[in-house]
């Protein structure tokens, strides 16, 4: 046996097939990698053996790190997963909520406070100030998505420099205590039998009284189950 390199968890045996077989017969290793050479250039082979030995050690350490990372990920997953399985009802409701919110986002134009300020030519020093003031005053509503408030473009009056439609504040007042921003948004984008199968958001500017009456009808339906 010419050379034997020892690393943490890895051994490199170098010698003739007979010498290596003798050492392997006493080894308790679970895996063995064999590299054979028909001809030996002593100086070149020694360098190659040294490099292979170092590479094997580095790979072993990398595998250990990956296994540790996998164990950490497993623990994180266990911490994030609910301690008990969610009931089918909860999972179904969650799926319906995700679907509804996706439909809301795709139903029309939604503007961030900055975009609304630009459209309405508001102050750019603090572009969210006025939209938030309108929201707090009940003149417009917003949906909160990924940490950002979005305001409905259909709730703005194009003839009045894109200020909130007066009829919108009345609808918001009617739904106060019954629907949050997402609920109001979903109602606006859904076809409405009271409006002949049309969407409230499409009629808010042109037929505001009909939309207001439809909102009142919606609340009556909620109150009477």
* pLDDT classification of 60: cutoffs 50, 70, 90: low
How large is the angle between the packed helices 166-175 and 208-223, nearest 10 degrees? Answer: 0
| Each residue's pLDDT tens digit, 198-218 | 999 999 999 999 999 999 999
The pLDDT of residue 3 is: 47
Residue with tokens 């005053």: 137
Three-state DSSP state, 37: coil
Report the alpha-carbon distance of residue 155 to residue 132 in Å, rounded: 14
Give the dihedral sign, CA 209/211/217/218: negative
* Same domain for 155 and 192: yes
Q: What is the pLDDT of residues 72-93, one digit of tens each?
A: 556 656 665 666 666 788 888 8
Q: What percentage of residues in the chain have a pLDDT greater than 90?
A: 49
* Domains held by the chain: number: 2
Domain final residue, candidates 33, 59, 80? 80
In this structure, the answer to whether residues 104 and 210 fall within a common structural domain is yes
Give the pLDDT of residue 213.
Answer: 98
In a shared domain, residues 15 and 105: no
Q: What is the mean pLDDT of residues 39-66?
A: 60
According to DSSP H, which parts of the chain are helical? 17-24, 42-80, 88-106, 113-119, 129-136, 166-175, 181-189, 200-203, 208-223
Counting Cβ atoms within 10 Å, is residue 32 exposed (0-12), middle (13-18) or buried (19+)? exposed
Q: For residues 24 and 95, state if they share a domain.
A: no
Same structural domain, 14 and 61 = yes
Instruction: Indicate whether 43 and 115 sit together in one domain.
Output: no
99 and 13 share one domain:
no
**133 and 214, same domain (yes or no):** yes
Domain that holds residue 18: 3-80
Local structure of 33: helix, strand or coil: coil
Same domain, 127 and 153: yes
Domain-ending residue, one of 53, 80, 107: 80
Does 33 have pLDDT greater than 50? yes
pTM of the predicted protein model: 0.60
Q: Are residues 95 and 56 in the same domain?
A: no
Q: Is the dihedral of CA 179, 185, 190, 191 positive or negative?
A: positive
Of 40, 64, 80, the one marking the end of a domain is: 80
Q: Within this chain, do residues 74 and 95 fall inside the same structural domain, yes or no?
A: no
- Within this chain, do residues 122 and 193 fall inside the same structural domain, yes or no? yes
pLDDT at position 135 over 90: yes
Q: What percentage of the chain carries pLDDT values higher than 70? A: 69
SS3 call for 194:
helix
Of 39-48, 101-110, 187-196, 204-213, minimum mean pLDDT range: 39-48
Give the three-class secondary structure for 153.
helix
């Amino acid at each position: 046996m010419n050379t034997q390199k020892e690393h943490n968890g890895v051994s490199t045996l170098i010698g003739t097939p007979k010498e290596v077989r003798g050492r392997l017969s006493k080894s308790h290793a679970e895996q063995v990698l064999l590299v054979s050479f028909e001809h030996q250039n002593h100086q070149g082979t020694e360098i190659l053996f040294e490099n292979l030995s170092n590479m094997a050690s580095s790979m072993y350490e990398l595998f250990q790190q990956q296994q540790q990372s996998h164990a950490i990920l497993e623990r994180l997953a266990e911490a994030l997963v609910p301690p008990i399985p969610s009931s089918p009802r909860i999972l179904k409701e969650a799926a319906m909520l995700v679907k509804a919110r996706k439909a809301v986002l795709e139903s029309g134009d939604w503007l961030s406070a900055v975009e609304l300020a630009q459209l309405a030519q508001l102050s750019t020093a603090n572009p969210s100030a006025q939209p938030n003031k309108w929201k707090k005053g009940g003149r417009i509503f917003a949906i909160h998505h990924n940490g950002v408030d979005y305001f409905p473009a259909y709730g703005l009056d194009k003839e009045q420099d894109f200020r909130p439609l007066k009829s919108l504040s009345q609808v918001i007042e009617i739904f106060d205590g019954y629907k949050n921003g997402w609920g109001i948004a979903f109602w606006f984008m859904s076809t409405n039998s009271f409006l002949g199968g049309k969407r409230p958001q499409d009629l808010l500017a042109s037929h505001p009284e009909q939309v207001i009456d439809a909102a009142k009808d919606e609340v009556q339906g909620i109150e009477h189950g």
